[in-house]
Amino acid sequence: MKVVAKHPTVRRDYLIEEVFEAGIVLKGSEVKSLRASNVSIKESFAMLRDGEVFLMNSYIAPYLQANVHNHDTTRERKLLLNRREINKLIGKTHQKGYTLIPTRLYFKNGMAKLELGLAKGKKTQDKRDDIKRKEAKREMDKAIKRNSRY
Q: What pLDDT does 145 receive?
A: 86
Per-residue pLDDT of the chain (150 residues; tens, 9 = 90+): 888 999 988 888 888 989 999 999 988 888 888 888 889 899 899 999 998 999 999 998 888 887 777 877 888 999 999 999 999 988 888 887 788 999 999 999 989 999 999 988 877 777 788 888 889 999 999 888 888 866
Distance of alpha carbon 94 from alpha carbon 86, whole angstroms = 12
**What φ, ψ does residue 61 adopt, rounded to 5°?**
-60, 150
DSSP one-letter code for 57: S
- Give the containing element (helix H, strand E) for 100: strand 98-108
Let me know: does 14 contact 120? Beta carbons within 8 Å: yes
> Quick one: how many helices (H) and strands (E) in the chain?
4, 9
Distance of alpha carbon 35 from alpha carbon 129, whole angstroms = 38
Distance of alpha carbon 99 from alpha carbon 112, whole angstroms = 22
CATH T-level assignment (fold) for domain 2-123: Small Protein B; Chain: A; (2.40.280)
